[in-house]
Structure 1
Amino acid sequence: MRLRLATYNLHKCRGMTGPHDPLRNLAAIRAVAPDVIALQEVDFRYGLRPEALPRRLVEAETGLVPIDLTGTSESSLGWHGQTILMRPDLARVARIRRLPLPGLEPRGAVAAMLPHLNIFAVHLGLTRGARRMQLARLASRARAFGGGISVLTGDFNEWHDDRGLEALSGFRVIAPGPSWPALRPQLRFDRFAISGEAEVIGCGVEDGTVARIASDHLPVWVDLDL
């Protein structure tokens, strides 16, 4: 089985400077054509943290559906701003967990367990010390889950390739290319960390015209043969 996995920080669907326009983000997702995509910053930050990405638009615009996830509040799409979209046939068999992460600021990961594949959607902290603790927690949970292949994916908030990722020993870390800032990408914040017997067929960055204005991040993707 081959799957295209992707990750995308939506920046609350505000583009680089606004206005709020989720249809641009959904068009960028459609251009990637993923089977599964981890999303960050899907909710507004304050108050009841209502959804910035309207769930009513997702399936009609992309063919994907949000996982069955209890959000941060009743009006939220995600948990700590994160969710995962999947093909409907995959969403029907996925088992979902929420994983609190250490650090001074509230952070958490979302895990979706499919047959032979566990996907951890992450948005790591702003300090390297917090990111190291969070990756250590996630790597430990991924190993404990077992079940074949595990993929940690999301906005790692880490600009170096040779530091801050020590906890991912035994994982293949793939950063498809510069993805931030979207208008002139310089840094490879958005990554995949893969463990288990999966062949990487290809990877890339969606840098089309819409993607460059829809968020401050570009979507990135990887094709896996499971």
Structure 2
Amino acid sequence: MTGSIRVVSWNIRKAVGLDWKRAPERILDVIASLKADIVLLQESDKRLAPRRPALPLDMVAQAGWTAIDADPLTPSIGHHGNAILLGQGFSFSRLHTMDLPGLEPRGGVLAAISGANVNFTIGSLHLGLRQKDRIRQMAHTLDAVRSFGGPAILGGDFNEWRGRDKDKLVPHDAPWHEIAPGPTFHTARPRLNLDRFVVDTGIKVLDMGVVPAGDMNRASDHLPIWADLKFGTDHVA
């Protein structure tokens, strides 16, 4: 459908499953089942320097994905573990990595994307554990998004557990809407809506959901979220 895309966001816990085995092929199998156009990952790099990808780049390419190189001077797949995978028919023209303010080292990645006959901004984020840090980090991100222009979609592990009925991190007078598809943490007993999207109010949410734990094969301690999104006619090329 022209102007419509499926975006997935998932904290993959460095590809370590609930069995404490690192199994990148398990992560890629789950991603393949979701039929996404774009995948936003968090905790996509190993913990210790030089922080090599938890998903080997050759496996990512063989699975049909283009991984945006967020940190070319390192072997990492992401920036602060945040990575963006593009499906066929999608390309990027501009990249911005962010070190987000707060007590802990946190970050995000923004990219200007073309595909599905539309140009838009996509971002992957992993926000802090303290509420005041999360609010500052989201404000910092939205300021950066404005410089890109066009419609924008953000996704990630927002670490925001305070319900799902109202926007928690975006200003109420801003043209953004926060989407919490459902509980994503912990995989063994999901109760907290930690993983979310933020989209421009001009982008229509056609459908959204959380991947059931049974379909996850215990690949991570977070469940993936997905959203089918349609851009307004004024955004479609």
TM-score, with structure 2 as normaliser: 0.87
Q: Which amino acid aligns with 1:79?
A: H
User: Mapping of 1:118-133 within 5 angstroms?
Assistant: 118-133=121-136
Measure how far apart 1:196 and its partner are: 4.4
Q: Which amino acid aligns with 2:103?
A: L
> Quick one: which of 175, 182, 205 aligns to 1:177?
182
Instruction: Pick the structure with more helix per residue.
Output: 1
The alignment partner of 1:129 has SS state of helix
1:34 alignment counterpart: 36
Measure how far apart 1:144 and its partner are: 3.1
Q: Distance in 2 between matches of 1:136 and 1:130?
A: 10
The alignment partner of 1:214 has SS state of coil
Fraction of identical pairs, as percent: 37
2:193 alignment counterpart: 188
User: Mapping of 1:4-83 within 5 angstroms?
Assistant: 4-61=6-63, 63-70=64-71, 74-83=74-83
Report if aligned partners of 2:66, 2:87 keep a CA contact under 8 Å in 1: yes
Measure how far apart 1:105 and its partner are: 1.8
Measure how far apart 1:44 and its partner are: 1.0
Measure how far apart 1:82 and its partner are: 1.1
Q: Which amino acid aligns with 1:181?
A: H
1:165 alignment counterpart: 169
Q: Distance in 2 between matches of 1:121 and 1:163?
A: 18
Measure how far apart 1:69 and its partner are: 2.5
Is 1:151 paired with 2:153? yes
| Count of aligned positions | 222
Q: Distance in 1 between matches of 2:98 and 2:66?
A: 21
Q: Which amino acid aligns with 2:71?
A: T
2:202 alignment counterpart: 197
Q: Which amino acid aligns with 1:81?
A: G
Q: Distance in 2 between matches of 1:201 and 1:141?
A: 26
Q: Distance in 2 between matches of 1:194 and 1:37?
A: 15
Q: Distance in 1 between matches of 2:139 and 2:65?
A: 31
- Quickly say closer, same or farther: Cα 1:208–1:158, change in 2 above 3 A: closer
TM-score, with structure 1 as normaliser: 0.91
Measure how far apart 1:17 and its partner are: 4.1
1:87 alignment counterpart: 87
The alignment partner of 2:69 has SS state of coil
- Quickly say closer, same or farther: Cα 1:209–1:60, change in 2 above 3 A: farther
Q: Distance in 2 between matches of 1:86 and 1:203?
A: 19
Q: Distance in 1 between matches of 2:59 and 2:39?
A: 16
